[in-house]
Structure 1
Amino acid sequence: MKNRIIFLAAAMAFIMMIFAGCTGTEEKQEPAQKQESTEKQQSTDKNITSDISEEEFIKKASSQKIDHVHGLGYPGNDKGLYIATHNGLKMFINGEWLETAGQNHDYMGFQATADGFYASGHPEKGSDLKNPLGIVKSTDKGKTLEKIAFYGESDFHFLSVGYKEKVVYLINEEPNSELERGVYQSKDQARSWETVKMNGLEASTLGMMAVHPENGGTFAMATKEGIFMTDDYGENMRKSGEFEMVTAAAFSKDALFISPVQEQKIKMFKLNPSQEGTAEELSIPHLNHDNPITYIAADPNQEGRIAFMTILNDLYESEDGGKTWKQLLVNGKIEQ
């Protein structure tokens, strides 16, 4: 019992870091000022565009250590696994690490979609963009960012968007011009917002959210009390299974992947939403108690292709549904 208490306390400390939204340098970042920059950016009413050519915008990644990750996923307009970092996007494509030559913003709440991605966060150093970015969208691998909502007002650590049916869910941590603190959803790509009622959510924390790739009304909320699901846009929530301290969640077309703490170990399970109570434990590499899983991604276009990232920036990917795993990053190090 004593060992279990010690383990849960340590795991909870790291989980709360995740749920608190990484209150580090990004929270303290000063509003961006106009400065000379190696990348010229043109900002219109709707779009933020880099003037780097399409051919030069994606380049081979330099050797580096990634310190902060705020999301990962498989955009449908590319073949690779994307990682949103403190310094822009990194992509693992055809066995090689690539990165963007511009628009290297501190992306948060990154969500891959069928035609690109949504994100929030803060502009890169030297940019003349407003801080924070609000919600932005890209359909060209990050070269152009469309301003969707709350530009210059808010950043959202907890943001989730449907892959095909682009229902947007967010946790608003600080009031802005439209929203008070709380959980909200939009069915019209952020033009209007409704409070997510979440009746039946018996949890003391809110955390990572996951939306079904084809049904925007189906989403899940990870909490320290377990995983809660809904099929009616969050009107009513139900607990799935007897898991505790779920730190990450992601939907594929037919399953929900979650990472809970169970039996004093960090684990991963595959749930079948259509068969309540059905859970298959996946065999994952051993993770120490101070290295919980923070993000999971499932590729809607390639069955069995899933990835997960840990708080210490270890990245693993499987192409056979979790039977075998390949480690793509060790402690966030890209070595070319």
Structure 2
Amino acid sequence: MKKKLILSIVMSVLIISGCAHESSKQNEQTEESKTEMKYEIVQAQSLKMNQIYGIGFPGNDQALYVAANGGLNMYKDNKWYETTTYHHDYIGFQAVDNGFIASGHPQKGTGLKDPLGLVQSTDKGKSISKLAFYGQKNFHFTAASFTGNDIYVIGEQPSDDLSLGVNYSEDNGKTWKKSAYKGFNADSFGMIAVHNKDGAKMAMATRSGIFYSEDNGNTMKRITDPVMITALTFSGDSILYSSVENNQILLKMIQPTTGELTDVKFPFLDYENPITYLAVNPKNENQMAFSTYKNDVYESMDGGKNWSNLIKDGKIEQN
């Protein structure tokens, strides 16, 4: 029963990856009347995150961002902050050098179509620009290079402008190509990570290990044992990842070209609470964070030697 439960949990991580809902009328929905809303980032007195959709360190801020069902939350200088409005469900949240890229669903009353397609913000969520597929598609699996214009998505339904499976753009969403993923033999797609500087280098988490590519996913090879991978992210040229092995949750660093492995220490997690998202600050690789299935959030400032528990069970109360 325990193994079936963890398989169910990880399957939800790999396949659903934080999907909250899909609008049954998304293709018919038109722009609604926009209500003027004052957007501010304020210190949170309390937070309740029922579902975390992504974490990261945007290059235009000095905070850890957590995208959750209630919108954006930021942790900075030992305090949590939240936004006063624009509480969008930023599914597929990806921190980049000038802000963040995401997919998902808008807050009602903001005049935005549902789904968002691919959008980008360069002002900490105050406004968003529409990159592609606005009002047409929602992407549970989205990845982007920290610098550059490389974006990856997994198309869940084929269309004229997007293929089923892995697709990538080298011009910030203007045009798209399908990855051939030759050599990929896993039975599931999962979370994608992209090298911070070289957008052709990407890696994918699957139930059968990490598959790595240096040519936009056109050729791929497995670089780990065939184990369940629940989360991954690049740290320089290496990949930080979490796996579920022998009834244990593990955190490791791998150098993809040599296969060199390093264990990373982290707080004990129950087998039924796997890591769902990982983030390393490209501007300070000693700063890293992870979230879990039960909405815990941890951060390390010294490369994983010591960790602080920022959120437990998705809740915080602060003065």
Q: Where on the TM-score scale, by shorter chain, does this alignment land: which range? A: over 0.9
Look up the SS of the partner of 1:17 in the other structure.
helix
Pairwise CA distance, 1:30: 5.9
**What CA distance in whole angstroms lies between the structure 2 residues aligned with 1:23 and 1:141?**
21
CA RMSD of aligned residues (A): 1.9
Show the counterpart of 2:264.
Answer: 282
2:109 aligned with 1:126: yes
2:42 aligned with 1:11: no
2:155 aligned with 1:167: no
Q: TM-score, normalised by structure 1?
A: 0.89
Q: Which amino acid aligns with 1:231?
A: E
Look up the SS of the partner of 2:158 in the other structure.
coil
**What CA distance in whole angstroms lies between the structure 1 residues aligned with 2:83 and 2:18?**
25
Q: Which amino acid aligns with 1:332?
A: G
Contact 1:153 1:176 in 2 (8 A): no
Q: Which amino acid aligns with 1:186?
A: S
Counterpart of 1:293 (choices 254, 272, 275) is: 275
Pairwise CA distance, 1:176: 4.2
2:196 aligned with 1:201: no
Q: Which amino acid aligns with 1:213?
A: N
**What CA distance in whole angstroms lies between the structure 2 residues aligned with 1:177 and 1:145?**
25
Look up the SS of the partner of 1:267 in the other structure.
strand
Look up the SS of the partner of 1:131 in the other structure.
coil
Show the counterpart of 2:243.
Answer: 260
Look up the SS of the partner of 1:18 in the other structure.
helix
Pairwise CA distance, 1:9: 2.6
Contact 2:266 2:304 in 1 (8 A): yes
**What CA distance in whole angstroms lies between the structure 2 residues aligned with 1:8 and 1:223?**
17
Counterpart of 1:69 (choices 49, 52, 60) is: 52
Residue deviations 1:245-290 (CA, integer Å, cap 9, x gap): 101000011320010112220111011234x221111111111121
Contact 2:163 2:178 in 1 (8 A): no
Contact 1:136 1:145 in 2 (8 A): yes
Counterpart of 1:108 (choices 61, 68, 91) is: 91
* Structure 2 gap segments, 5+ residues each: none
* Structure 1 gap segments, 5+ residues each: 1-5, 41-50
Are residues 240 and 250 of structure 1, via their aligned partners in 2, closer, same or farther at CA, if it must alter by over 3 Å? same
User: Aligned residue pairs: how many?
Assistant: 316
What are the equivalent positions in structure 2 for 1:1-336 lying under 5 Å apart? 6-21=1-16, 25-28=20-23, 40=36, 52=38, 57-274=40-257, 276-336=258-318
Show the counterpart of 1:3.
Answer: none
**What CA distance in whole angstroms lies between the structure 1 residues aligned with 2:215 and 2:244?**
28
Pairwise CA distance, 1:241: 2.2
Q: Percent identity?
A: 40
Contact 2:277 2:291 in 1 (8 A): yes
Question: Once superposed, which parts of structure 1, at least 4 consecutive aligned residues long, lie more than 4 Å away?
Answer: 22-25, 28-37
Q: Which amino acid aligns with 2:169?
A: S
Pairwise CA distance, 1:127: 3.0
**What CA distance in whole angstroms lies between the structure 2 residues aligned with 1:306 and 1:205?**
27
Pairwise CA distance, 1:177: 4.8
Are residues 284 and 29 of structure 1, via their aligned partners in 2, closer, same or farther at CA, if it must alter by over 3 Å? farther
Contact 1:10 1:289 in 2 (8 A): no
